[in-house]
Structure 1
Amino acid sequence: MKVNRSLLLAVAAAALTVVGLVLPATPPAAAASLTEVTSFGNNPGGMRMHVYVPDSRPTNPGIVVAMHGCGGSGPGFYASSEFAGLADRYGFIVIYPSAQQQAGFGKCFDTWSDAAKRRGGGSDPVSIVSMVNYVQQRYGGDPNRVYATGSSSGGMMTNHMLALYPDVFKAGAAFMGVPFQCFANAADYPPGSSKCTGGGGANRTPQQWGDAVRQAYPGYTGPRPRIQLWHGTADNLVPYALLQEEIEQWTNVFGLSQTPTSTDTPQANWTRRRYADSSGAIPVEAYSIQGAGHSLPAGGMAAQAIAFFGLDRASGPTTTTTTTTEPGTEPCRVTSTVNAWNAGLTESITITNTGTTALNGWSLDFTLPGGQTITSGWNATYSPSSGQVTARNAAHNATLAPNASVEIGFQATHTGDTAEPAAFALNGMACATA
């Protein structure tokens, strides 16, 4: 059951219009689906790969690598972010890697090992480049339009990939990241206990930060990928101060001043600083999100990243492929009901295991609309309280048999948007919604 569905669609359309993007009110009759690729080439990181290929796309579509945060997964980021919907609109392909390296917050992208810091050295960066090569060969992906983005650990890896493979990636958008070479080694990871995110180890000069990037690919003299940086001013996990360190790194790489050439407010609570070169091009721009914690990207930010990449513009002839998905093949189904009042709401969620195997322990990933913050919950634990949320089973409902359901829910405050999440993923796999 949906609450005020027509009103919610109108609100969503209005919100997207603010950033210059209008999506159709109804989905296409035949929708693409997330697909796992089990053999994509050299994979020293032992990573999993999922790809989203829109039904309508140019002959040579652009490619976006979209990377999750620690403890997440590719399918989870697919379900909890807006990149797939934008891919439907603009016809680019999205790669969703799943990290397999264990760190203090679960599985994270390797930005700490010596192998990962060397071009061609191994680990996750080599695996990600293999995924890009696979999409170029399998789907005709345009090698001149390859981009990276990610949240938290994925934002850190975005900086990483732009430093190591400037000849592969044309631009990146890093949400809540850290500069390349911030983590000294595995012992200096994860965030919260490291010198990098603890403050002292990250206070370097612009020249030192820039040298780290230049040393990642010695002798490279080609163009550098542009970068868009995002951080919440109230982020206590990956401190907001690290945004300035990222700015110093990349402005130094481009030979720019650390003083922005312009500052504006694209939306309420968004402060954007731009760093233009002598030609007027903008290789570096940074967004400070007032009051936001460790919860990015929020609504509309993915669209801003896609616009920065230039993927919001048509490119070449379009081909259409019909993808047929049999009803009921998703491994799970989720229904949600919202009851809202003034500045509060409750949301009841029913999760059904539509697969053939019992789940012994489960987690449900979803993204709350902007302005919603969970204050309490039942039958699950919820973390964080806003943005991209993971609900994990309680002790009494950890086992979910085939065709069995579990009901969970939470109470939250809101600032006007009372919509339920648009998508859910159970144990990293996208769920059908009803």
Structure 2
Amino acid sequence: MPLRPAAAALLTAAALAIGTAAPVPVPAPAPAPAPAPAPTVAPATADTVSGTFQQVTGFGANPGNLAMYSYTPAGLPSGAPLVVALHGCLQTANDYYRNSGWTTFADRYGFAVVFPQTSSANNSLSCFSWFDATKDSRGVGEAESVVEMVTKAKALYGSDDRRVFVTGLSAGGGMASDLLADYPDVFAGGAIDSGLPAQCATTQGAASGCQNSDQGLTPAQWGDKVRAAYPGYAGPWPRVAIWQGSADTVVRPVNATELRDQWTDVQGVGQRPTSTRSLPGGTTEEVYADTGGRPAVALFTVAGMGHGLAVNPGSAADQCGATGSYFLNTICSSYYTAQFWGLDGGTGPTNPGLPAPTGLTATPTGQGSIALAWQAVSGAASYQVYRNGAMAGSATGPSFTDTGLAPGTSYGYTVAAVDPSGAVGTRSAAVTATTGGGAAQCFTDSNYNQVRAGRATQSGGLTYALGSGQSMGLWNTFVTHTLKQTGPGYFVLADGQC
């Protein structure tokens, strides 16, 4: 019996993702087609973080049957931005938290991150349903669940509702694109990584065509799909970053062209870039600015990259993330996306020629103070010090002591040099330190009870220490570990140490 088109599309995508020679028929009904990355293998190490990663329950109406996880830097002030980050197929919120690099910049620039999670109960490959009009449209399904999470996060963290952004990989990128069209009144900007145009497919049968071929639409026709998602909305429209590997065979590069056509038309700008530059990892950035010269759309093409999220592990200011299945070592896309959105406090460094300080160290000097030191930068007249992304003070030389801090609390720091004209250079790599005076507590219990007590999280049947994200093994009552609390909402494995 021949496969239905939807089943054939899924099998083709799955074969591309896992490298099988040919698809093998599966029983009907077929699962929904979507970009299908293979399961992520948790890396041995991840970016150093100073905040809290945890599941948030009771976030409101949940018609899409999603789970909400969030990451908040230590000492996050009210009025900070909020980023929503959507994982790819056969991935989890924890995978994206550990590998995508977004926590690095949440700590550095000071913003919260929400990681929505779908599951096999919604889709056999745990894909977000970017292709289903009953789930990805305004006011319904998964799209509505994500917006309920945004409302909850704003209530919990005091996030600035004018600076809410959404990003996603593959099927998550397709859903991010839909969310930007559905809720331009909620999201100030978005980033679509190896994803698809908004409302490209509204049925299962149309999904494969979107992934693999040119749809033959004009920019105006693509723009109409966005305008139809929220009829009557007149702007302002989100600014959109598009990331695409030139060798992607799961979501073909034509999707990036269609995304560019769609969002430049919505923004009312032409399809000819106003500026082009070369970036690391064989990446070309094309910027499409509005009439005021403000970047409205940016297209990042990574030469030779296949299907996945671009990361670049390391400690330099423009590096982030951890490699794994469909986390590809090329360039830190999260860094350039954060700058495109202005999360670094502006539109980017005002003096790119002024190097970032190196050798930054942070040493607790008491219950309420931390001493910082770094290597002097040639040409610097002074330095700006940032605590959890916000300005903590300035220094005339390569040292600074931060005072008035809470005891037993972790803080993240970066430093930037300032030239004689007052222009600020690139920020340094982040470091963290925990003030003294907070008595460390140890908790020995089963993984199941550690999760119930809020000291750990579980994802995909595995357990991870809250905050540090360290793997603890299976989520059950038979595996026991000791966790040490080293800061608010931050636990580390301490078997045999307490």
TM-score by length of 2: 0.59
Aligned match of 1:57 = 76
1:119-169 superposed Cα distances (whole Å, 9 cap, x missing partner): 21x111100000000011121111011000111111111111110100100
User: Does 135-144 or 93-102 show the bigger shift?
Assistant: 93-102
Q: Which amino acid aligns with 1:116?
A: K
Q: Which amino acid aligns with 1:213?
A: V
- Alignment of 1:251 with 2:270, yes or no, is no
Distance in 2 of aligned mates of 1:151 and 1:227: 14
Distance in 2 of aligned mates of 1:224 and 1:325: 48
> In structure 2, which of residues 83, 86, 98 is the aligned counterpart of residue 79 of structure 1?
98
Aligned match of 1:32 = 51
Q: How does 1:57-206 map to 2 (within 5 A)?
A: 57-100=76-119, 106-120=125-139, 122-189=140-207, 194-200=208-214, 202-206=215-219
Gaps of 5+ in 2: 1-46, 313-331, 346-385, 393-403, 411-439, 445-454, 457-461, 482-490
Contact 2:136-2:179 at 8 Å conserved across structures: no
Contact 1:64-1:147 at 8 Å conserved across structures: yes
Contact 1:90-1:312 at 8 Å conserved across structures: yes
Aligned match of 1:262 = 275
By how many angstroms is 1:91 displaced?
1.4
Contact 2:88-2:127 at 8 Å conserved across structures: yes
Contact 1:57-1:320 at 8 Å conserved across structures: no
Contact 2:109-2:390 at 8 Å conserved across structures: no
CA shift in 2, pair 1:62/1:233, >3 Å? same
Aligned match of 1:410 = none
Q: Which of 1 and 2 has greater Rg?
A: 2
Distance in 2 of aligned mates of 1:308 and 1:79: 22
Aligned match of 1:232 = 245
By how many angstroms is 1:320 displaced?
7.5
> In structure 2, which of residues 319, 334, 346 is the aligned counterpart of residue 302 of structure 1?
334
Distance in 2 of aligned mates of 1:195 and 1:327: 53
CA shift in 2, pair 1:34/1:268, >3 Å? closer
Equivalent residue of 1:116, what SS?
Answer: coil
CA shift in 2, pair 1:433/1:198, >3 Å? farther
Distance in 2 of aligned mates of 1:317 and 1:59: 14
RMSD value over aligned CA atoms? Answer: 3.1
Contact 2:83-2:114 at 8 Å conserved across structures: yes
Distance in 2 of aligned mates of 1:188 and 1:320: 55
Contact 1:262-1:274 at 8 Å conserved across structures: yes
By how many angstroms is 1:117 displaced?
4.4
By how many angstroms is 1:204 displaced?
1.4
Q: How does 1:212-223 map to 2 (within 5 A)?
A: 212-223=225-236
Contact 2:220-2:265 at 8 Å conserved across structures: yes
Equivalent residue of 2:240, what SS?
Answer: strand
Aligned match of 2:21 = none
Q: Which amino acid aligns with 1:209?
A: W
Aligned match of 1:312 = 344
Q: Which amino acid aligns with 2:191?
A: A
Q: Which amino acid aligns with 1:174?
A: I
1:1-32 superposed Cα distances (whole Å, 9 cap, x missing partner): xxxxxxxxxxxxxxxxxxxxxxxxx968xx32
Aligned match of 2:359 = none
TM-score by length of 1: 0.67
CA shift in 2, pair 1:263/1:102, >3 Å? farther
By how many angstroms is 1:206 displaced?
0.8
CA shift in 2, pair 1:352/1:48, >3 Å? closer
Identity %: 35
By how many angstroms is 1:188 displaced?
3.3
Distance in 2 of aligned mates of 1:354 and 1:38: 22
Aligned match of 2:61 = 42
Equivalent residue of 2:247, what SS?
Answer: coil
CA shift in 2, pair 1:312/1:186, >3 Å? same
CA shift in 2, pair 1:326/1:78, >3 Å? farther
User: Does 305-314 or 56-65 show the bigger shift?
Assistant: 305-314
| Number of matched pairs | 318
Aligned match of 1:22 = none
